[in-house]
Amino acid sequence: MITPIRLLPAALAALLPLAANAGATGVCGDPATPIHQVQGEGAASPLLGREVTVEGVMTLDARHPGGFKGFYLQQPDALTDGNPRTSEALFVYTDHSRGHPGDQVRVTGEVKEYHGLTELVAVQSMSVCGKRPMPAATDVSLPWSRSPESLENMRVRLTDPLVIVDTYNLGRYGELTLAPGDPVMPTEYMAPGPEALNRYQSSPQQQITLDDGQGEREPRPVRWLQQVDSLRAGDTVSRLNGVLDFRFEQWRLQPAKAPVFTTTNPRPAPPPSRPDNHLRVLSMNLHNYFNGDGRGGGFPTSRGAQTPEALARQSRRLINAIQAASPDILAVTELENDGYGNNSAIADLARHLGPAWRFVATPGADGNDEIRTALLYRSDRVRATGPGHRLTVGPFAGKGRPPLLQTFTPVGGNTGIQVVAAHLKSKSCRNAKGNNQARGDGQGCFATRRVAEAEAIISALADSKDSGKVAGTVLAGDFNSYAMEAPMQLLAEAGFTSLVHKYHPCGPDNCPHYSYRFRGHRGTLDYILASESLVSRVGRALTWNINADEPRVLDYRGKADISGPWRASDHNPVIVDLDLSQSR
């Protein structure tokens, strides 16, 4: 927000509070410019840059410490123009302290558009004219049936409960994104293309931001986080009443009082135990597990924990989550690429998991990225058969995050599985050039690179056919691709089935198992895929929703010291149980 203009020197202001200037601005009740004329029918005021005098009812005061340094002023109901295309309210930017909600106020100032918000600034005169009835709130629903511009700064009431679809900025700005439903990423259920992109880009028309009335960054305590024991995306919010505001390119509700939160997406119970004759595979993104120098120093790390205390929080939650899931084989991504020595991140993780845990080492073949994939396993349940190796050809040659391949066989058994831990290129557009730039089809950047990586994996597995003692191949990891995007379709055509999608398919309005949330959409980036020979051996396939719906402010980088597995990462883990006890 702009720097407030002082109305008078402080000492003089205390003796001479602002009052109406009878010659220039008139007194309370004199003719004034109707607020709807200041607003006009367009996105910008037709009176931009002009000095006007308006009179209306203060509906919401945002001059409190950390607020927006102003208040909202709305035309009394009896003086509106009845035009649904014009707003009847303004934001008045001033640090003057007179007046309270319900007061009629007369203000003279300059009309300005501040990043799309129509407001009065450089206030020259301000008078409180007594109490008046509060203007009636306009009932609205989502998606918007009329342009929100025509309701800017006005009192509104959302008629229906809304769903929390994004909590990303809750800790930073006190914001929650709300929508009528809980949308699914379009390329999760439909082919990439202009229609998929259009569906994604039209989502803001169905959303509103619930703000906290604060203009400061990192508000503490986090206002909405205090309303329920565990606020999560997917929960619902009702009794949404306040002022419709526009800031930072988003339509926002500045609430007059706290709305009602209802826990409709509770934290899930631990996953069911696997049957004794099944093998459990867990795929988990570790959200940049970096352990400093491994001896308590080396902080802040380049991507992960910034302090030893943050690492302790991260480690505690990850171990809690992994142990609760009780896997026999653990495929991880976003693990620090710092070798296999006693102080390495992978050795640290294995120690925390317990004495039975081992890891697959491929020194010298792990690529040049700061992070890598890894495979860990319970040696009392499975044994690693033969050496592990990295796929270091094609797009993985000397760069990136080479997939890791290893065969595992149950202790006491003869039939094993080959597991491939993979992490395809991110969708981020940083450094994207040429055909790796976004193509306007909803797949984001580096889609071409991800396709090449998927093709390299398919080719490598085709060249190393399963032996008679291997029941099939599992691909596990973060593929950075939604289910209908090109890399996943290529893998499906090559005979690899997404096991979670097989048993829990996603549609536009229903996606019971997902691994990630991005800008108000659910979808899957993390998978366990199985070759055709393994599909009939699947006993269970699911995602465990302990991370993606939890507010980012609760993760290890903050100060929240919560117990349990919650927000151990930003991706949900994927769990699959396989029956290798009989030949098929």
E strand residue ranges, 212-343: 236-238, 240-247, 250-255, 260-262, 278-289, 329-336
Residue 353's pLDDT band, with cuts at 50, 70 and 90, is: very high
Q: Tell me how far CA of residue 30 lies from CA of 105, 124, 125, 394, in angstroms.
A: 12, 17, 14, 78
pLDDT at 20: 36
pLDDT at 205: 87
Residue 26 has pLDDT above 90, yes or no: no
In this structure, CATH architecture of domain 10-131: Beta Barrel (2.40)
pLDDT at 399: 76
Q: Which residue has the higher pLDDT, 397 or 71?
A: 71
pLDDT at 229: 66
Which tokens sit at 462? 């085709």
pLDDT at 10: 36
Residue 387's pLDDT band, with cuts at 50, 70 and 90, is: very high
Measured from the Cβ of residue 189, the count of other Cβ atoms closer than 10 Å reads 20
Residue 5 has pLDDT above 50, yes or no: no
pLDDT at 329: 99
Please state, in angstroms and rounded to a whole number, the distance separating the CA atoms of residues 70 and 61: 7
E strand residue ranges, 449-493: 470-478
Asked if residues 317 and 567 have their Cβ atoms less than 8 Å apart, the reply is yes
pLDDT at 36: 98
Please report the DSSP string for 80-146 in residue order.
----TTS--EEEEE-------TTEEEEEEEEEEEETTEEEEEEEEEEEEEEE-PPPPPEEE-SS-SS
pLDDT digits (tens, 9 = 90+) for 526-576: 999 999 999 999 999 999 999 999 999 999 998 888 889 999 999 999 999
pLDDT digits (tens, 9 = 90+) for 467-496: 568 999 999 999 999 999 999 999 999 999
pLDDT at 461: 95
pTM value?
0.92
pLDDT digits (tens, 9 = 90+) for 305-328: 999 999 999 999 999 999 999 999
pLDDT digits (tens, 9 = 90+) for 58-115: 999 999 999 999 999 999 999 999 999 999 999 999 988 999 999 999 999 999 999 9
pLDDT at 297: 95
Residue 12 has pLDDT above 50, yes or no: no
pLDDT digits (tens, 9 = 90+) for 488-521: 999 999 999 999 999 999 999 899 999 999 999 9
Size of the chain, expressed as the number of residues it contains: 584
Which tokens sit at 330? 């653990």
Same fold yes or no, 10-131 and 279-424+464-478+490-526+534-579? no
| Residues 95, 101, 103: CA angle, nearest 5 degrees | 95
Please state, in angstroms and rounded to a whole number, the distance separating the CA atoms of residues 362 and 245: 55
Residue 247 has pLDDT above 90, yes or no: yes
Residue 15 has pLDDT above 80, yes or no: no
Residue 2 has pLDDT above 50, yes or no: no
pLDDT at 263: 95
Domain boundaries, the chain: 10-131, 138-262, 279-424+464-478+490-526+534-579
Strands 155-158 and 240-247: antiparallel
Residue 139 has pLDDT above 90, yes or no: yes
- In this predicted structure, which of 385-399, 419-433, 469-483 has the lowest mean pLDDT? 385-399
Query: Phi and psi (nearest 5°) for 101?
Result: -55, 135
Please state, in angstroms and rounded to a whole number, the distance separating the CA atoms of residues 120 and 118: 7
pLDDT digits (tens, 9 = 90+) for 140-156: 999 998 889 999 999 99
Residues 6+ apart with CB under 8 A from 15: none
Mean pLDDT of the chain: 93
Residues 6+ apart with CB under 8 A from 11: none
pLDDT at 561: 82
Please state, in angstroms and rounded to a whole number, the distance separating the CA atoms of residues 31 and 20: 13
Strands 155-158 and 138-140: parallel
Percent share of the chain, pLDDT over 70: 94
Please state, in angstroms and rounded to a whole number, the distance separating the CA atoms of residues 315 and 348: 9
Please state, in angstroms and rounded to a whole number, the distance separating the CA atoms of residues 165 and 122: 38
pLDDT digits (tens, 9 = 90+) for 174-211: 999 999 999 999 999 999 999 999 999 999 889 999 99
- Is the domain spanning 279-424+464-478+490-526+534-579 CATH 3.40.50.10710? The answer is no
pLDDT at 18: 40
Residue 466's pLDDT band, with cuts at 50, 70 and 90, is: low
Residue 19's pLDDT band, with cuts at 50, 70 and 90, is: very low
